[in-house]
Amino acid sequence: MKWLDGNSKRKEPEVFDTVADGLKAIYRTKLLPLEEHYKFHDFHSPQLDDPDFDAKPMILLIGQYSTGKTTFIRFLLEQDFPGIRIGPEPTTDRFIAVMSGDQDGIVPGNALVVDSKKQFKPLTKFGNAFLNRFQCSTLKNPVVDSLTIIDTPGILSGEKQRLDRGYDFAGVLEWFAERVDRILLLFDAHKLDISDEFKRAIDAVKGYDDKIRIILNKADMVDPQQLMRVYGALMWSLGKVLNTPEVARVYIGSFWDKPLHFDENRKLFELEEQDLFNDLKSLPKNAALRKLNDLIKRARLAKGSKSIHTFTSSY
């Protein structure tokens, strides 16, 4: 009996400085060989690199044009960021990663994807048309010291949405959705219609329902009675698109620094704003848990690909 002799040796547990280091080691030694053997990277998702584990939590903003996405980022940062453009027309025509940096500046997409310290290398598969519409805006700000914010082009409606962007817009959104910690869908209180392109965008991120939050922005532009009807119409529209039995969490407010147009709902807006900011502030604390959760999901997918490979190879 091993327990009777005093020489039995118990395997010493591995010790890592951070959770990210532990996840890297598990991925390289346990999961990566399985992915390579069953060609997981060819048909599902590229290999994970160190920046995927070391990256700060990310927030992805999606919405139709002029719903206040870029203004919302400025509201969070309490300052402008390099490359910011705000207006009633479709002003943001590119994906912008707002990140921490030693000085204010803009890094073009082609330079960004070859930076070994950033997690954007796999985006090269979307081609030059996308990379020309992708940039990183760096600035010194306490918010981006712990978070990365991804601004997206305003989604078009009507005849404009038939024009091809030149790259797989829904595919890029899905790539980001897989990696971000929170997805914010913004709606304007005056524009609740969901265009075909917006529906395709929501379909692209639908597999990540736990990350999605809804924001009904510019809610101060309608009076309380109209706001009640707007909220009901939004829930009805979302019910047809999201197709989930659970009710999506909707934050109601006006996320900019201008005075409120209708002041009656001020207390409601302040409470909703605080709830949303508490949710976003919790992301850095829960980042390691989210990465562990995503790695477990990836392992299940890889095991599923193993079963498919075994099944197909038997024929």
Which of 45-49, 90-94, 283-287, 303-307 comes out lowest in average pLDDT?
A: 303-307
pLDDT above 80: residue 151? yes
Q: What is the pLDDT of residue 311?
A: 40
pLDDT above 70: residue 87? no
pLDDT above 90: residue 76? yes
> Which residue ranges make up each domain of the chain?
57-89+158-302
Which of the four pLDDT bands, split at 50, 70 and 90, describes residue 96? very high
pLDDT above 80: residue 57? yes
> Of 43-52, 263-272, 295-304, which one has max mean pLDDT?
263-272
Rounded to two decimals, what is the model's pTM?
Answer: 0.85
Percent of the chain with pLDDT over 70: 87
pLDDT above 90: residue 313? no
Quick one: which of 127, 125, 123 has its CA closest to 136?
A: 123
Q: Which residue has the higher pLDDT, 193 or 233?
A: 233
Which of 41-55, 209-223, 280-294 comes out lowest in average pLDDT?
A: 41-55
pLDDT above 90: residue 74? yes
pLDDT above 60: residue 262? yes
221 close to 68: Cβ distance less than 8 angstroms:
no
Q: What is the pLDDT of residue 8?
A: 54
For residues 157-167, average pLDDT: 63
- For residue 215, how many other CB atoms are within 10 A of its CB? 25
How big, in percent rounded to 5, are the helix, strand and coil portions of the chain? 50, 15, 35
Quick one: which of 232, 194, 105, 88 has its CA closest to 96?
A: 105
Cα separation, 209 vs 296, whole angstroms? 17
Superfamily of structural domain 57-89+158-302: P-loop containing nucleotide triphosphate hydrolases (3.40.50.300)
Which of the four pLDDT bands, split at 50, 70 and 90, describes residue 158? low
CA 96 vs CA 40, 59, 70, 111, 131: distances in Å:
29, 12, 10, 14, 11
List pLDDT tens digits, range 8-48. Answer: 555 566 777 777 888 888 888 888 888 888 788 777 777 88
Q: What is the pLDDT of residue 312?
A: 47
What 3-state DSSP class applies to 72? helix
Which of the four pLDDT bands, split at 50, 70 and 90, describes residue 109? very high
